[in-house]
Structure 1
Amino acid sequence: MKLGRKRLGAWRMAMAAVLTIIMVLSPIHVAGAEGTRTEAVMDQSASVAEQVSPIMALYAPPWVYDFKGKDPSVLVKNGITYMAQEQLASMLTDMAWDVDVQKGIVKISGPNHTLSWAKDSKYAIVNGIKRKLSGALLYKNGQFYMPLRDVITWAGGTVKAANDRELIVAYTPLSVIGGDKNRWYWVRRDNGIVYSAVGSEMPYNIGKSSVQGYQSVSLEVKQLTNDSTLLTVTHVHGEPMLADDIYKLIVYKGKIVRQSAAYYYGFHSASSMNETEGQIVMLNGNELQLVRPDGSLQGRYDLEKLTGYKNEPFTVPYVSSSDGIALVEPYRTSIMLLVDLRTAKVIELYKELLPETEQKMLAEMKPYMNDFDYQGDRLAFVKRDGDTFVFNHGTLPVGEKTVQLTYTLKR
C-alpha cells in the first residue's frame, strides 16, 4: 500500500473554506429523553477529560437521533432508548466488536474498556466486573439492540435530550484501530500510546509513540514475521487538508522497538516505498532508515546532506541496500534524483530523460516554488527491470497525456 495520495488541486482549494473546530469533549451525565427516569451508568476507568492530552484537543460532531420517529436503528422499550449494534459500531469506531449471533453474545473492547453482554440479560461484564445495567440486551429484526446510554457512557461519551423527540449523542474516538480479532492494535490520537489485544481481551500498553492526530487518521497493520508487525499511521489534516504526517512503528515481540515520523505539506504525493530486500523503509525527518523486522538498523542516510536539498522533506520511491542506490524526491521541489548512497553521487533524472524545452521550463519554474502551479518534473517511478528504471511522465499541459520513459544504470 502506498502512503499519502495524489491530490486533486481543485478539491483541496475548495476545502480551504472549511474551518477545523478543535475542542475537548467532557463527559457529562444528562437525564435522558425518558422524562425524569435516570438510567444506570457504568463505571469508567478514567473520564474523557483525564484521558485527553492537554496538547491535543479532539472533537467529533454529535449524532442526532429521532427516537420517536421511524429510524429502525432506534427503539424504545419500557422507557429505555435502545440502539442497534451496527449503528453503535458506526459511532464507536475505535472499539473492536465481536458479535456472535449463534451464541447471543456481544463483546466490545478498546483501551481501558471491555464489555461482554449476553442476549436477554440485564447483567454484563463491564471492565472485568459483573454489573446490572438499565435494560437487557435485545435481539430483534436480525440484529442486537443495546441500551444507548449505558453503552455510550461506558465508552466515554454523552447522551442528552435536544427536545421532546431528539437525542444528541456525543462521542469522540480517542484512538485509531487496526488489525483483526487475531491481534488488534490501537494508537491513541492524543498522546500516542499504543495498545494491543487478542480478541476481546483488555488491551494492554505496548509502548508510546510520537503519533498525534486530531483530524483524519488511519492505521495500517502489516505482519512482517511471526514476532514482528509494522504499524503505519497516516494523519491528513490542515486547511485545506494539505498536510500528511506519516508515522511508522515496528512492534517486535509485543513491544515498540523503533518508530519514525515524516511530515509533508503541499500538493505533491507523499508516497514512498514500504519494504526492500527484507527491510522496512522508514523516513524519520530527513533521514532514510533501512530497518530489519526486529527493529535493528541495516543502514541510515542523511538525505539532506546526500542530495544538497535543504529545508524540505523527502520521499523515497525506490531503494536497494544491496546496490547502494535510491530514487529520492525532495518533496516541494519534486525532482526525481538517482542517488548513490555510498558515493553521494546525485543524478537529476529530468536532465537525462526530458527534452530541452521541458528542462528549460522546469528550470525557470523552480525559483517560484508555487505548490499549486508547480508540477515538478512529473516523473513517477513505475518499476525496476534489471538495470533499467521505468517512469511514467505526464507531458505538458498537465493532463495532456502520459508516456513511459526509461533510464539504464551506467555500470
Structure 2
Amino acid sequence: MKTIPKFCKQLYLALGILLLLFNIGYLNKADADPVYTVSINNSSTVNNTVLIGNVNYIPLKTGFEQLGYHVEWSQADRSLYIISPDKSIVVNNVTKQIKMDGKLYSALKKEILNKNGTTYITARYLSQLTDSQIKVNGKLVNISNTNIPIFGENADGSFWLKNNGNFYSLKSKTPKLIGKVDLPSNNAKYSSMSINSIKEKKSFVITIKTFSGEPLKNVSTIKIFIKNDEVIYSMINGSEENLETSKNGANWVFNNGHLVNLINDNGDIVKNYDLTKIIEDDFFSIDGFIGEEFMLVRSETKKQLWAINMKTNKSVRLYNKLLSKEEQASIEGNTDIGDIHYGDNLHFKSRSGDTLNFNYFSYLQGAKDMNIEVKLSEFRNFFSN
C-alpha cells in the first residue's frame, strides 16, 4: 500500500482550510451584502440591509425614520419607542412583544431580530406596521406611502408637518400639535426639513423644501418660527431659499416673494418690506445683502436685479446705474423669455472693503462675462436722486 507523502498531506490540509475559509466568507457575504435594493417611495435607498433566507431585513431605526417616525431607545425597559402623530409603536427587544397604540401583541417570530448590536425588521413587516405598500420588481423592493408627514429632528427637537398643515413637536414620547402652517399649492412629491435651534430663547427656525413636477423642477420653501413650543410665524416662498440669504446680520429672513420680514431670535418682526409697494407688483427672490444696508432682489417676470436701501426703503434698478446706454438698450431689446440670458444677467459677486463686485454677461462685448466694480460711496449715491 502506497503512503501519501508528507508534503502532499500538508498541501491537502492547506487547501481544505482555504476552502473552509472561502465558504465561511461566502456565507457571511451572502448574509451581509443583499442582492436586493430596498428604497422608500422610489427615492431614498435604505443602507445596510441584510438578506437571510431570501428575506430582506432593514435596520429598524433607519426604515422607520425614512417613513416619518421618531425612534428612540429606552434602556430602562429595553424597548424601542417608534413615534409619529398618527401612531405609537413600542418594540421590546427582550420579549419581542410589540405594543401598538396601547394594544399589546404576541411575541414576534422572525419579523424582528438583533444582529451585531442592531435591531432589524423585515421589509414586509415594516410596510405592514406603517400602513405602507410594498412592491418587488426584480431585485428592487420599494416601500411607498403617500401619507408620510414631513419629518425632521436634531439633538434639540423632533418635528412633523402633516398633509393638512398641522405642525407637531415631540414632548415626552408624545407628539403635540403646536400650530397650523399653510402649504404650497403644488402637490409635493419629495420634501426635506432643516432645523436651526436657538437654545437661549427656546426657539427654532424650521426650513422645509418641497419638490414637485418632473423632473422635480418646482421647488417651494416653507419657513416656520417656533417659540415656547408654538408656531408663531410661517411663510411660503414659491422658490428655493438661498442659504446665504436666510439671515441678515442677527435677523432671520422670511420672504414670500412679495413681503420680506426680518425676525430676531426672540420672534419679533423688527423690519418688513412690501416689495410690491417699494418696487412693483411682481414676485421677487432675494439675491443677496450688502451688509445690513442694502438688499438685492430679482423680479421673476423681467429677471431684473433691484437694490433696496434698507433704511430708507428707496429702490433702484441696477442695470440703469451700472451699465452703459448701449448695454441697457440691449437688455430692453431682448424680449425672448426663453433665452437663458433673458433679463439683465447682472449679479452681485462679492465685497472687498469698500469695493462692490458685480458680474455681467454682455452680448455687445462678444458674449462674454464682464466684471464691474463700484465704490460703496458711489453705490449709496444711487439712492440720492
Is the structural similarity TM-score above 0.5? yes
Number of matched pairs: 333
How far residue 255 of structure 1 moved from its aligned partner, in angstroms, is: 0.5
Quote the Cα distance in structure 2 between the aligned partners of 1:86 and 1:231: 26
Quote the Cα distance in structure 1 between the aligned partners of 2:343 and 2:60: 46
Query: What TM-score results when the alignment is normalised by the length of structure 1?
Result: 0.67
How far residue 361 of structure 1 moved from its aligned partner, in angstroms, is: 1.8
Residue 405 (1) aligns with residue 382 (2) = no
Per the alignment, residue 232 of structure 1 pairs with 207
Q: Which has the higher contact order (CA 8 A, sep 6+)?
A: 1
Per the alignment, residue 11 of structure 2 pairs with none
The structure that has the greater radius of gyration is: 2
Code of the residue aligned with 2:340 in structure 1: it is D
How far residue 170 of structure 1 moved from its aligned partner, in angstroms, is: 3.6
Per the alignment, residue 108 of structure 1 pairs with 82
Per the alignment, residue 154 of structure 1 pairs with 129
Per the alignment, residue 118 of structure 1 pairs with 92
Per the alignment, residue 192 of structure 1 pairs with 165
Residue 382 (1) aligns with residue 349 (2) = yes
Equivalent position to 1:317, from 288, 307, 312:
288
Which structure 2 residue ranges, 5 or more long, are not aligned? 1-39
3-state secondary structure, aligned to 1:304: helix
Per the alignment, residue 30 of structure 2 pairs with none
Per the alignment, residue 283 of structure 1 pairs with 255
Equivalent position to 1:352, from 321, 333, 358:
321
Per the alignment, residue 75 of structure 1 pairs with 52
Residue 328 (1) aligns with residue 283 (2) = no
Per the alignment, residue 10 of structure 2 pairs with none
Equivalent position to 2:220, from 216, 234, 245:
245
1:268-279 → structure 2 map (5 Å cutoff)? 271=242, 273-279=245-251
Residue 127 (1) aligns with residue 101 (2) = yes
Per the alignment, residue 5 of structure 1 pairs with none
Code of the residue aligned with 1:369 in structure 2: it is I
Per-residue Cα deviation, 1:74-113 (whole angstroms, up to 9, x for no partner): 4359xxx562216962883422334699x97544322232
Residue 262 (1) aligns with residue 237 (2) = yes
Quote the Cα distance in structure 2 between the aligned partners of 1:237 and 1:383: 33
How far residue 342 of structure 1 moved from its aligned partner, in angstroms, is: 5.3
3-state secondary structure, aligned to 1:410: helix
Quote the Cα distance in structure 2 between the aligned partners of 1:349 and 1:161: 56
Which structure 1 residue ranges, 5 or more long, are not aligned? 1-58, 66-70
How far residue 159 of structure 1 moved from its aligned partner, in angstroms, is: 4.6
**8 Å CA contact retained: 1:270, 1:331:** no
Equivalent position to 1:215, from 189, 201, 209:
189
Structure number with the higher helix fraction is 2
How far residue 401 of structure 1 moved from its aligned partner, in angstroms, is: 4.7
Quote the Cα distance in structure 1 between the aligned partners of 2:236 and 2:181: 10
Per the alignment, residue 362 of structure 1 pairs with 331
Per-residue Cα deviation, 1:115-162 (whole angstroms, up to 9, x for no partner): 332335321343355432542631236643224444322222145788
| Off by >6 Å, runs of 4+ in structure 1 | 62-65, 160-163, 165-168
Code of the residue aligned with 1:317 in structure 2: it is G
Per the alignment, residue 337 of structure 1 pairs with 306
Quote the Cα distance in structure 1 between the aligned partners of 2:317 and 2:336: 19
Aligned-residue RMSD, C-alpha: 4.0
Residue 159 and residue 343 in structure 1: after superposition, are their counterparts in 2 closer, same or farther (change >3 A)?
Answer: closer
Per-residue Cα deviation, 1:299-319 (whole angstroms, up to 9, x for no partner): 2221011112x3434435227
3-state secondary structure, aligned to 2:307: strand
Quote the Cα distance in structure 2 between the aligned partners of 1:255 and 1:138: 39
How far residue 207 of structure 1 moved from its aligned partner, in angstroms, is: 0.9
**8 Å CA contact retained: 2:64, 2:82:** no
Quote the Cα distance in structure 1 between the aligned partners of 2:135 and 2:219: 36
Per the alignment, residue 115 of structure 2 pairs with 140
How far residue 214 of structure 1 moved from its aligned partner, in angstroms, is: 2.0
Code of the residue aligned with 1:127 in structure 2: it is D
Per-residue Cα deviation, 1:277-305 (whole angstroms, up to 9, x for no partner): 32211113411111223332212221011
Code of the residue aligned with 1:174 in structure 2: it is I
**8 Å CA contact retained: 2:307, 2:316:** yes
